[in-house]
Structure 1
């Protein structure tokens, strides 16, 4: 748990929000590539 002083609370929240957004983007791209590999490595792949 990260404890921030009162004057640095806003910057700490911005940093946490930024980290959450970056982690979400990385997870979404990994899931997308995983689905892509799953679709194109399976026998019944969807033609786009």
Structure 2
């Protein structure tokens, strides 16, 4: 599984107001990536259809 991270836009002013939210989001995202990486063999054949 290839992991790619992209950031398209940067908020120029008042970006500090999002710091705590971004910390929570990043922790949740890292958790999900870790779980998917560990369980990929069980998940790779699943379909959303």
Q: TM-score, normalised by structure 2?
A: 0.51
Task: Report which stretch shifted further, 2-11 or 17-26.
Answer: 2-11
**Structure 1 residue runs without a partner (length 5+):** 34-48
The match for 1:18 is 28
Bigger relative contact order, structure 1 or 2 (CA pairs below 8 A, ≥6 apart): 2
The structure with the largest alpha-carbon Rg is 1
The match for 2:17 is 7
Q: TM-score, normalised by structure 1?
A: 0.52
**Structure 2 residue runs without a partner (length 5+):** 1-5, 43-49
